[in-house]
Amino acid sequence: MGQPDRICVIGGGAAGISAASMAKRTNPDATVIICTEFEDVAYSPCGIPYVLGREIPDFERLFLAGPEQYVESGVDLRRETVVTELDGKNRTMTAGGETIPWDRLIVCSGFNYTLPDVPGNDLEGLTYVKNIRRGMELNETLNDVKKAVVLEASPLGVEMLAALAHRGIETHLVDEGAWLLSQVADPDIAEPVQKSLESLGVIPHFGVKLKGFEGSNGALGAVVTSDGAIEADICVVATHKEPETTLARSIGLKVGSTGGLVVDERMRTSMDGVYAAGDCVEVPQGLTGLALQGLTGSHAMQQGRVAGANAGGGHRRYDPVYIPWGMVGGTVQIGGASFGEHTANSLGIPHIVARANGISRARYYPGVQQVLVKLLAEPGTGRLIGGQMVGGEGVKERADFLSFALKRGATLEDIAWMENVYSPPIGALYEPMSVAAQNGLAQL
């Protein structure tokens, strides 16, 4: 009988932790080592904006497990341990000054924000929401902040706009796009969110280029844009999630067209015995095969599970993605799956648009909210290619359902005749998605 496998994981985020746990579960005899440069693991970074916005009362609630729980499960968790070197030939890595051999390696090195390439980008006051302890410090700093700028209306940017506005801070948005969440959402879907944020006091500046940061004594004083300077005590940088691939590239792992690591459906990289998962990889979009990177925490977690299972000797597969997404912007929920009208238009994908403005509960039931749904379908066949929705409630469930329907190749006809829950407090007689599909059938 040979030596048990030694599986090393780089990164302690959603992908890394789930990969390590699954590797250990798949192969209990294996030695599983996680190295993370950070102090903490197993917390929800996605909850940070909501603590900053005082919708969640404290940071401690974001912690899901303590480090001793990994020790108990047999995983060797090494915190504050930076992997400085990888050797693909000898299958070793240098971490915390120690050379550690590995039989299988799982790279879950995550992302960094793209540094704005403008003067003053090193000033104090440029703020990044990612690490929980730095979030805790920011929470204290915000007590003295009067004016803030959020750079880019990405999902995190939108969450931070609401959080800062909740804190009574004069909050500006600077974005080169023409509307909120323009990388993913259609303008008519994003509009209610934008209005909701404006009602909280957010001041958006769309179609505006960042020119630089100005300040004195090393501290930020203003964000300079193509439309002039905006006074600011802090600027939250919510730019593109750039995959962290420095170490992976050092051993020759193949990088794809997004800058993320190329993996196959078993999360194997271009090097035998090396897997990768999470924000550092790219995976294909289900309809087009287009490589995508920088998805959500749930994608990272599932990819990590697949990578961990396969590194442990299992045989799991990760499917191409349809990317259900959703969030709350201000007081409005927004979400969708796959392509919206703007993204389909951008890529030149032929489509028809089916719309409906429905309701979330029976019209007479207290708390009923509008739900605007748009479905996109292939002309002729009616096969769904995506959809988006905005409303007061029920967006997440619809986005999840839509994503699954897309994966199964559903058509407008299928959705038009779908069954739906009808119960006055939780669902209307007519499901808005079904009504949208019925409206769309007329266009086929």
230-259 residues near other proteins, rule: CB under 8 A = 237, 242, 244-246, 249, 254-259
Does position 177 interact with other proteins (CB under 8 A)? The reply is yes
What is the nearest approach in angstroms of other proteins to the Cβ of residue 125? 12
Among the listed ranges 84-92, 348-356, 394-402, 431-439, the one in contact with other proteins (CB under 8 A) is 348-356
Within 207-351, strands assigned E span 210-216, 219-225, 228-231, 234-237, 241-243, 261-262, 274-276, 281-284, 291-293, 325-329, 332-338
Q: How far apart are CA 152 and CA 85, in angstroms?
A: 34
Q: Which is nearer to other proteins, 113 or 435 (CB)?
A: 113
Q: How do beta strands 98-101 and 228-231 pair?
A: unpaired
Residue 133 or 146: the one with the smaller Cβ distance to other proteins is 133
Token pair recorded at residue 408: 């199964």
Residues 377-396 that bind other proteins (CB under 8 A): none
Asked if 59 interacts with other proteins (CB under 8 A), we say yes
Among 29, 85, 264, 397, indicate the residue that binds other proteins (CB under 8 A). 264
Give the footprint of other proteins on residues 109-128 (CB under 8 A).
111-115, 117, 128
**Minimum gap (Å) between residue 128 Cβ and other proteins:** 5
Report d(CA 206, CA 178) in Å as an integer: 5
Residue in 125, 157, 158, 130 with CA at minimum distance from that of residue 142? 125
Q: Footprint of other proteins on residues 396-425 (CB under 8 A)?
A: 425
Does 331 interact with other proteins (rule: CB under 8 A)? Answer: no
Instruction: Figure out which of the listed residues 4, 28, 29, 61 binds other proteins, where binding follows CB under 8 A.
Output: 61
State in angstroms the smallest separation of the CB of 108 from other proteins.
15
What CA dihedral angle connects 21, 26, 30 and 31, to 10 degrees? 0
Stretch that binds other proteins, among 14-22, 36-44, 329-337, 400-408 (CB under 8 A): 36-44
Q: What are the backbone angles phi and psi of residue 46, rounded to the nearest 5°?
A: -65, -20
Interaction between residue 213 and other proteins (CB under 8 A): no
Q: What does DSSP say about strands 332-338 and 384-391: parallel, antiparallel, or unpaired?
A: antiparallel
Residue 130 in the binding site for other proteins (CB under 8 A): yes
Question: Nearest to residue 104, comparing CAs of 6, 26, 35, 31?
Answer: 6
Q: Is 176 in the site for other proteins (CB under 8 A)?
A: yes
Q: 170-175 and 147-151 as β-strands: parallel, antiparallel, unpaired?
A: parallel
In the set 159, 186, 233, 279, which binds other proteins (CB under 8 A)?
186
* 186 vs 388: CA distance, rounded Å: 8
Residues 285-304 that bind other proteins (CB under 8 A): 288-291
> Could you tell me if 235 and 125 are in contact, meaning their C-beta atoms sit under 8 angstroms apart?
yes
Tally the C-alpha atoms within 13 A of residue 53's C-alpha that lie toward its C-beta.
24
User: How do beta strands 261-262 and 281-284 pair?
Assistant: parallel
As measured in angstroms, the least distance from the Cβ of 348 to other proteins is 6
Alpha helices in 315-385 (DSSP H): 341-347
CA distances from 311 to 107, 316, 397 (A): 11, 10, 32
Rounded to the nearest whole angstrom, what is the least distance from the CB of residue 1 to other proteins in the complex? 32
Q: Does 140 participate in binding other proteins (rule CB under 8 A)?
A: yes
Site residues (CB under 8 A) for other proteins, limited to 153-172:
none
Stretch that binds other proteins, among 35-43, 352-360, 402-410, 416-424 (CB under 8 A): 35-43
Q: Kindly tell me which of 102 and 111 has the beta carbon lying closer to other proteins.
A: 111
Binding part of the chain for other proteins, among 9-17, 154-162, 279-287, 327-335 by CB under 8 A, reads: 279-287
Site for other proteins in 82-101 (CB under 8 A): none
Contact string 422-441 vs other proteins (x = CB under 8 A): ---x----------------
* Polymer length in residues for the chain: 444
| 102 interacts with other proteins by CB under 8 A | no
Helix axes 187-199, 155-166, angle to 10 degrees: 20
